[in-house]
Structure 1
């Protein structure tokens, strides 16, 4: 590693005037940029070559010295150093200011750092800095006090009374600089600590803020007066370029305009001072200089922004850093890369799982350097130049070389948006004609790709290490599982499912004569021959002799099945556990999958195959399933036409019956027997039931060989809800407020709708489209915040040796009487480590030993045993100070193997929660009509509300005591719910009658139980049940939202986010530590500091854990680089500079920003000394010696 990159941490601080001069290569004195006649930079101007370096490599300004041989010489005529032109990207200049100027970040930021140091309000500070008032620096013999603020009239009066030399009062940054330089930081810090002892309320919080800033200056060693600038640094010219346009005009960076304003005003002020101009004119010029510097640093922060042509605000230095287009997010976190291309994707059904089709032209361009090297190596060309000409001409020899080059060189394919780790996968390229990339159909689900014009990008991994990683970790055939829940992601879809469904369906019994003997065959081959000769069909029952080997013995017998199922089973392993062979005998001959196979069953088959036979074998089986599915969907010839959508005859009758019932309800309403709300609900309910009855009739009517029904039932395309709209009845729609319209749509899409029906339905159709667009942005922003909070959670060690654990049980949803399981105990314990022995409550047998991994089979045994709670190791209780340990995490769901050190589990957690975000609903549901109170937030807004730890909409009342409930209805449209504890303590809650109470008289409630319907404020749970209670609540609630939307997600991902939300402690009393009262400190730092202090016999600090929302927690991270690249860039950098923060570079973002390898995966320190040796003929000796050495070392 080069010297410049060899550092462990990076710091930021305030620059002193001397430091700025040290950076500078010369003073910029003139506002000119370039000479418009010669197009050369002006001397001493903003692009001066003498200061910033030559514009052409190895050439001075006047042309006296040209060529590299004069390297390092400074021209005696023009003063330009002969060097590379790229120094113009790094050499800075400076402007020596005629009057001190304040830095707007430290004056205007929230809180104002200058204001806190001087104990002045930002408003008063502004009056001084912008020459509207005087501040007393030395009161002398007057009755004034230091820091008093006086206006112009008062100043004159004091001058006339006491004389100009008897006291000192100044205005502008000069005055503030004098005051700042007089401050004794150490004495002030001690004084503030003493004041804190007696202070209360608002005064105390103000003192804490002041002390925080003063302590920051004390610890960092920076002088407060450095917040005032005497010397202004000038950015290197290549970072604020000026380019010539076609018409001879120039386009320039806004910074040049802003610098020019500063230089003009500075020069004018210098002239006025030399001329001894009147005070009022000088003051006005100083104020304008202050405003010019403000605009340069942060345009628009104070007053109106300086605008350029077309009234557009100019982009200042702060704007260069901020936002999506700023330096952090545009250039440091995302960079353009060489060796990449993009094209439209088309399906490649004949490809293997690990292959992709790469267009020949694209491949040649991507692998050009490799091809040229091979050509020179095999002496087909003399040098690189002629090799390049050969490649550009093309020809057979070039294509043959390209074939050799790409043989063992994987490429990465990426489809934007990359929502999870499966959005980039590696493939072995296969050269194809045409200009489109061919993609294996089974990886489409992972990429969320389809072939309607989607594009994908190709990247070439260059180094041997990168290629090894691509091959072993990223190859598509190794990525068969979803990181969200560990289920297979490469399940066949659409045509493939339909083909396999067609293959495994059997005939109805009445399709053939039950008396006729079944065709019998001696083995599979004979049956297959009969099928090929059209003697039998795929679907009719046949008898066939089957021979299997069990424990070394050959068993033979006749089974009854269909030809289709025989063909399907011919590619499957026969030990997946679907067939019950426990009784032996004839059962041993059963086919493994002798049942109808749709998409759901295929998923189970693949999951078991991975579990039993591993990924390599499953990849081969998947390819065979793909081929078989396409083949038999073609043979089946299943297609749909309008006549396949058969409308049930009973539909008219059912609708007429419903209309009679509705008329009766309306009559009852008119008589006054029903209120309007009751009438509305009854009408909506009748139509809902009618729609369901028509749907049932439709199912019976279609028959199992109807193509539409087959597609839906197999899971290939469509669902019963869509079929209902095609051939049944569209039913009730929602209006713009989300309320169900009571007039139903009686027609279906096959019959067509009338005008009124069309208008009622059009709102829902449009809303879904606009919802999707909004949802994508919201979901993306949620993912970004989650990534930011969890990006430094990496598996840092094998085992943290903690004895802490959590109790897990099945998660249930619904009211007391209608509870259903949202997540089984099986899903919560599989792939986790047991904290202690898990014992069967009935047999007392140990199901899982403590400290061992719970396998799928063991998890099933635990669930079957009737155990309600299991103690497991968890991310929430991991004792790792940064990241988590492998034991507390459990298995890596993306591989199905125990997690290894270096796994970036935080990023995976964020992606797993964010990726299905677009599938969640956007709306807030009405809980029935208007009368039932507040909306309950669901879907994406609910997940956001939980992770941001916000006060929820429709907040529930929770029990603050444990005890028995009594309910009394008062006459004030309220009821009083009283909880009385066993000790006789009671607590009464007044609840409006419109709010549904979910407890009954005499119920026993525990602390934190819900009394009314709605969501709980996480902060309330935090104060009542503590950190453990709130973590459990967040996990349960987030899981419920995903489950309600049909998304499976493992709770370990949510655990990681919840852990990060509770990492901070708020200090209540600092004791003898250096921690400040009221500040937020990392929990692990808090514990370790206290342990050190206690060991010395001193007073430890006191504090409590706080729950922070994900945005706040991201900004409260120890890494200023990570926080600055997330949000509020200028605020984060201001704070970091004052505190002299040091970034320890533990997370991923910080290392990406500074261009180092990320400290995860193979970039971790423990793996850094591994080198990859390409397995090619020329490395034969090296490889053999390496293998021999490793054998010797054991």
Structure 2
């Protein structure tokens, strides 16, 4: 009976969820049977197939092509499609006209393509809008509505500037058309979804209708100087007397001279300043005559007066800023008109420029071979260090990879200069300001500099060197690719390259699904966050500061506070004047002032601290980026946020595919060079000793060294890793560009705090440490290994009187650098833990990490974090774990706080006895 029961249970399990545990029950032919839960889940299940996604009547799909002559709010709809889509409307109209009496006869007329039908179709489509959608629909701009313009042919025509929003291109993409039927649907489609109403991205607030590709290139060509002028200006030559320039008073005169052939697009001219004496955003209000080029005069004709005369080369990103300012200063309608004029201008100029790429344009710098030879010698030196046993194999690998990374960068920057100078760099050109042969601007450089197509990375691969590649498991191969595509790869290099190319293709296929799933999870969580009230009157907020990577600003403060609401008054410390009052929006002008004040932190209202009962209040949210105005009550901000995070996820997976798998790693910094002059200040918890060479060596983690001005204001600061050598003392003054500190980026050292004699404790051969002889170097090295026994390898430092001065626990994987009983000086290295092998950083690793952050999972190797502020002490070991006590040493016993941490033995503790720790500081590695 028991067996029968079990079989029945298994059968029921299989009916509900086949294959949940053990092997799935299979039908004939080995195919797993479809259980009840399979019917529901996934893309083909009941929910997504039938309930959330149904087939829609009055819709069609077709291939898209470019429609350069369309207005921003129009799309070209093939007549055959329109005939089917608007069929019921046509039938009704035919009956009204009396051309047909029954539906059936009207249908016959339509099938016969009677001439009358086309007239009626024109009439019916007037004033209607249709919705266009391109799959995958990642954010709200993937569905927009347009007024249809009837065209011949089979393909839908799309305005070139809405391509970015749809992420569409014309290499065979298809799009779907839907017709909104009811009056309400028509209204909503026209008022909220018309393409000319969404000029800005709801994710970033930047213009998403910025011209790209040909248009951006055309406009850059139009506004750039001639190549000779540009190079002379760059190399500091005299540009010749201004009085000799042809002088024009109006754009029409310039046009006349240009049509007559008297001046060319890039001729330098004097032009009567239209902005003289009035304040504009980009104009010059000082001079009566400005020196400019013919092209720039034509370019400025399309812009409204509020912008002013833009007198500089305009690349794609600056064009985006211009569009933003135009919208801000002159309103929406002007901007929409402007976008179409820009499109026409850009296409026309790109055609006139006739840009093309030839092999000659990819200039390989002659210094390349010399740089590579130097790098080869340096690699040889690193190998030698390894053979002499100074560094471990892992360190050697990392150093070699880093070295080649720097070499690639060096070749790339020299090559980029060569391409920019483009035959200007013959000796004569540099000395006299006249070029060797009449040079033009390099088309490859023009494409990258205008940001129309291609990146420095791609040019580096064309004419520099390809650099290091990663193997399939993500480790970086030591031998770099020294050739570029212009010279051609050797057979070995070609095969190393194939890893990256395949990985790109596989990633694109696999990860796109993950990214879509991430968006779905985010939407599910955030869908009920809507703006429910104007203000929740909370007194709480968060502080924001610029995000730094090392000493480089990645996200400036401006980007983080723009459009948010200030929590309290922001005051100018010098004058005491209020820059922004509490609960006021921080706009562009305020941002400029905050930047000038050089404030490091600003307190703002945030959704995290909002106290609305449901959703969120408008003040805590701030500005609606899609409109540039404060957010309206009822906006579904949760879904906008979810889409804004999910949408780039899919793009990121595609990116590996475009770069072609060249390894991109974070180049590790090994020193800190001052960016500003000032006085060096150490934080009070910094502990350092002088090493035998007399320099200061940092012993503890999480400390700061800052450079301050006379008033004591911090100009810049950095956190030195353990083992950093500092070349100045506290209170010394340093100039700009001084190398203040240096450290080994490839290993974390354990250092002695004072002089003494080393004693090994719990060092048991084969149990807690291994002695291995390196085959290549023939030297012994002692490595700590993980053990299950109750043994905890430590190095005890004893003074002359035999008292223990300090205990150093050896983390697993550490390499011991001293012998038992050896005498050591202060600041000497006792052991070091090599850093893990450098892996490539790309989005494949990124997506799971993002998911992890959002789901707040527990990491597997978590660090212990200090729960209170206080001083570190060590107690007796309990239950085989080390006891670390943090005591805040409050003199009043009633308020004294003591926090006990039990730390497993193998973990490396990064704080020492007597250290002062801050709340939330790391106590162990992890």
Counterpart of 1:81?
Answer: none
Judge conservation of contact 1:932–1:995 (CA < 8 Å) in 2: no
2:597 corresponds to 1:889: no
2:297 corresponds to 1:566: yes
2:368 corresponds to 1:651: yes
Alignment of 1:703-1102 (within 5 A): 703-704=420-421, 705-799=441-535, 801-814=536-549, 818-920=550-652, 931-933=834-836, 939-952=846-859, 954-964=861-871, 980-983=887-890, 985=898, 997=910, 1004-1011=916-923
2:282 corresponds to 1:543: no
TM-score, L = length of structure 1: 0.55
Deviation at 1:945, TM superposition (A): 0.8
Alignment of 1:263-282 (within 5 A): none
Judge conservation of contact 2:266–2:294 (CA < 8 Å) in 1: yes
Q: Secondary structure at the match of 1:778?
A: helix
Identify if the C-alpha distance between structure 1 residues 675 and 868 changes in structure 2 by more than 3 Å, giving closer, same or farther.
Answer: closer
Q: Secondary structure at the match of 1:474?
A: coil
Identify if the C-alpha distance between structure 1 residues 387 and 846 changes in structure 2 by more than 3 Å, giving closer, same or farther.
Answer: same
Task: Select the residue among 383, 398, 402 that pairs with 2:121.
Answer: 402
Alignment of 1:645-724 (within 5 A): 645-704=362-421, 705-724=441-460
> In structure 2, what is the Cα distance between the partners aligned to 1:322 and 1:792?
23
Name whichever structure is richer in helix by fraction: 1
Task: Select the residue among 312, 316, 325 that pairs with 1:608.
Answer: 325
Identify if the C-alpha distance between structure 1 residues 992 and 695 changes in structure 2 by more than 3 Å, giving closer, same or farther.
Answer: farther
Judge conservation of contact 2:130–2:145 (CA < 8 Å) in 1: yes
Deviation at 1:712, TM superposition (A): 0.9
Deviation at 1:767, TM superposition (A): 1.7
Identify if the C-alpha distance between structure 1 residues 649 and 978 changes in structure 2 by more than 3 Å, giving closer, same or farther.
Answer: farther
Q: Secondary structure at the match of 2:583?
A: coil
> In structure 2, what is the Cα distance between the partners aligned to 1:612 and 1:546?
20
Identify if the C-alpha distance between structure 1 residues 975 and 691 changes in structure 2 by more than 3 Å, giving closer, same or farther.
Answer: farther
> In structure 2, what is the Cα distance between the partners aligned to 1:1012 and 1:359?
67
Q: Secondary structure at the match of 1:750?
A: coil
> In structure 2, what is the Cα distance between the partners aligned to 1:552 and 1:594?
15
> In structure 1, what is the Cα distance between the partners aligned to 2:648 and 2:364?
36
Task: Select the residue among 158, 162, 166 that pairs with 1:439.
Answer: 158
Q: Secondary structure at the match of 2:192?
A: helix
Identify if the C-alpha distance between structure 1 residues 556 and 696 changes in structure 2 by more than 3 Å, giving closer, same or farther.
Answer: closer
Identify if the C-alpha distance between structure 1 residues 404 and 1009 changes in structure 2 by more than 3 Å, giving closer, same or farther.
Answer: farther
> In structure 2, what is the Cα distance between the partners aligned to 1:573 and 1:438?
29
How many equivalent pairs are there?
A: 710
Task: Select the residue among 345, 354, 360 that pairs with 2:64.
Answer: 345
Deviation at 1:841, TM superposition (A): 3.4
2:314 corresponds to 1:597: yes
Alignment of 1:1110-1129 (within 5 A): none
Judge conservation of contact 1:485–1:893 (CA < 8 Å) in 2: yes
Deviation at 1:436, TM superposition (A): 0.6
Identify if the C-alpha distance between structure 1 residues 954 and 373 changes in structure 2 by more than 3 Å, giving closer, same or farther.
Answer: same
Identify if the C-alpha distance between structure 1 residues 313 and 988 changes in structure 2 by more than 3 Å, giving closer, same or farther.
Answer: closer
Q: Secondary structure at the match of 2:124?
A: helix
Deviation at 1:466, TM superposition (A): 0.8
Q: Secondary structure at the match of 1:575?
A: helix
Residues 23-79 of structure 1 deviation map (CA, whole Å, 9 limit, x = unaligned):
xxxxxxxxxxxxxxxxxxxxxxxxxxxxxxxxxxxxxxxxxxxxxxxxxxxxxxxxx
Identify if the C-alpha distance between structure 1 residues 538 and 995 changes in structure 2 by more than 3 Å, giving closer, same or farther.
Answer: farther
Task: Select the residue among 458, 469, 473 that pairs with 2:188.
Answer: 469
Bigger relative CO (Cα 8 Å, ≥ 6 apart):
1
Judge conservation of contact 1:524–1:546 (CA < 8 Å) in 2: no
Q: Secondary structure at the match of 1:697?
A: helix
2:257 corresponds to 1:530: yes
> In structure 1, what is the Cα distance between the partners aligned to 2:133 and 2:913?
59
Deviation at 1:308, TM superposition (A): 5.1
Deviation at 1:404, TM superposition (A): 1.7
Deviation at 1:701, TM superposition (A): 1.5
> In structure 2, what is the Cα distance between the partners aligned to 1:303 and 1:638?
63
> In structure 1, what is the Cα distance between the partners aligned to 2:457 and 2:475?
20
Identify if the C-alpha distance between structure 1 residues 736 and 883 changes in structure 2 by more than 3 Å, giving closer, same or farther.
Answer: same
Judge conservation of contact 2:538–2:610 (CA < 8 Å) in 1: no
Counterpart of 2:147?
Answer: 428
Judge conservation of contact 1:835–1:871 (CA < 8 Å) in 2: yes
Residues 548-601 of structure 1 deviation map (CA, whole Å, 9 limit, x = unaligned):
58679999943221001111111112333xxxxxxxxxxxxxx53101111121
Residues 1040-1059 of structure 1 deviation map (CA, whole Å, 9 limit, x = unaligned):
xxxxxxxxxxxxxxxxxxxx
Deviation at 1:296, TM superposition (A): 6.5
TM-score, L = length of structure 2: 0.70
> In structure 2, what is the Cα distance between the partners aligned to 1:517 and 1:924?
51
Deviation at 1:759, TM superposition (A): 1.9
Deviation at 1:696, TM superposition (A): 2.1
Identify if the C-alpha distance between structure 1 residues 852 and 636 changes in structure 2 by more than 3 Å, giving closer, same or farther.
Answer: same
> In structure 2, what is the Cα distance between the partners aligned to 1:301 and 1:732?
44
> In structure 2, what is the Cα distance between the partners aligned to 1:552 and 1:314?
75
Identify if the C-alpha distance between structure 1 residues 708 and 547 changes in structure 2 by more than 3 Å, giving closer, same or farther.
Answer: closer
Residues 357-396 of structure 1 deviation map (CA, whole Å, 9 limit, x = unaligned):
1111001111111111122222232232222211221133
Judge conservation of contact 1:933–1:994 (CA < 8 Å) in 2: no
Judge conservation of contact 1:833–1:853 (CA < 8 Å) in 2: yes
Judge conservation of contact 2:145–2:189 (CA < 8 Å) in 1: yes
> In structure 2, what is the Cα distance between the partners aligned to 1:298 and 1:634?
62
Identify if the C-alpha distance between structure 1 residues 804 and 774 changes in structure 2 by more than 3 Å, giving closer, same or farther.
Answer: farther
> In structure 2, what is the Cα distance between the partners aligned to 1:980 and 1:920?
47
> In structure 1, what is the Cα distance between the partners aligned to 2:873 and 2:413?
45
Counterpart of 1:380?
Answer: 99
Deviation at 1:480, TM superposition (A): 1.0
Q: Which moved more, 1:650-659 or 1:919-928?
A: 919-928
Identify if the C-alpha distance between structure 1 residues 648 and 992 changes in structure 2 by more than 3 Å, giving closer, same or farther.
Answer: farther
> In structure 2, what is the Cα distance between the partners aligned to 1:489 and 1:907?
19
Deviation at 1:435, TM superposition (A): 0.6
2:214 corresponds to 1:485: no
Residues 653-702 of structure 1 deviation map (CA, whole Å, 9 limit, x = unaligned):
22222223333443444444554344434433433332222212212221
Q: Secondary structure at the match of 1:765?
A: helix
> In structure 1, what is the Cα distance between the partners aligned to 2:542 and 2:16?
54
Q: Secondary structure at the match of 1:482?
A: coil
Aligned alpha-carbon RMSD (Å): 3.7
- Structure 1: 5+ residue stretches without partners: 1-125, 133-286, 577-590, 1015-1194
Deviation at 1:863, TM superposition (A): 4.2
> In structure 2, what is the Cα distance between the partners aligned to 1:308 and 1:682?
57
Residues 966-1013 of structure 1 deviation map (CA, whole Å, 9 limit, x = unaligned):
899x9xxx999875534384756869899695x799875321133456
Alignment of 1:1140-1151 (within 5 A): none
> In structure 2, what is the Cα distance between the partners aligned to 1:628 and 1:691?
39
Deviation at 1:420, TM superposition (A): 0.5
> In structure 1, what is the Cα distance between the partners aligned to 2:198 and 2:253?
38
Identify if the C-alpha distance between structure 1 residues 594 and 1007 changes in structure 2 by more than 3 Å, giving closer, same or farther.
Answer: same
Deviation at 1:924, TM superposition (A): 12
Q: Secondary structure at the match of 1:380?
A: coil
Alignment of 1:230-379 (within 5 A): 309-310=28-29, 312=31, 314-315=33-34, 317-379=36-98
> In structure 2, what is the Cα distance between the partners aligned to 1:603 and 1:820?
25
